[in-house]
Amino acid sequence: MNFTQRLRQNDLLLGTMLTLPSPELAEMISSCGYDWLFMDGEHGNLSTLDWQRMLQAVAGRSAAIIRVATNSEREIKKILDIGADGIIAPQVNTADEARHVVACCKYPPQGIRGVGLARAQGYGRNFADYMKTANVSIAVIIQAEHIDAVNNIEEIVEVDGIDAVFIGPYDLSASMGLIGQVDHPEVVEAIDRVGRACQQRDISLGYFGTTAESVQAYASKGYHLICAGTDAGFVLGGAQQTLDKLRE
């Protein structure tokens, strides 16, 4: 059973975030047994070729889901063509924006994704098989990370083709004038509103935290797409811990 099938049946999927242009780090972290990797193409400076090298290093050990830099047709097409298992679309604030993202991920007649030959299609060798399965196997995950998305969430979740909604707590708090205050009651209520809307539509919910402890409450609430920690955080944390022990 692939990642998208597991996502649609609400399995608990545990992941972490990759932000650094290092195939070696991606290879090491994927060998740990994470269900999925949140590859952040929105904030980093990685190129499409960098992401392809990362995907090759992961080699299918973990599902590779790339957050695209923009929700443009061109950007989404390129990321899917290099072989990502799905995308995370940032800053989806309306139902129309959600419909656009879904359409960009689907080949006609369900969508508008352009047809090309690249790594995802085996450079042509697996073209026919890929075309038969891509529309159902690619994970389409949108982010609710702005108060506008919260205010429109009941309409957003009615859009066909959304596999999960991923909360962006830090950007959400910033859009509410409460930057970084992810535990503020108003931010928590906004997140809970998204949660209620998704659960009513049986759409999986995702949440990111910098530590395992920060996401446990959301896993206990029924969130299924959990992401904790970052590659940079692991390196910094391990290095600092070792130095601190040496200084004792």
Distance CA 158, CA 197 (A): 9
Give strand pairing partners of 52. Answer: none
Contact by Cβ (8 Å): 77, 113: yes
- Helices 231-247 and 23-30: angle between axes, nearest 10 degrees: 80
**Backbone dihedral region of 15: left (phi > 0), alpha (psi from -120 to 50 degrees) or beta?**
beta
Catalytic (active site) residue 224: no
Q: Which of 43, 100, 184, 224 is labelled catalytic?
A: 43
Q: Which residues are catalytic?
A: 43
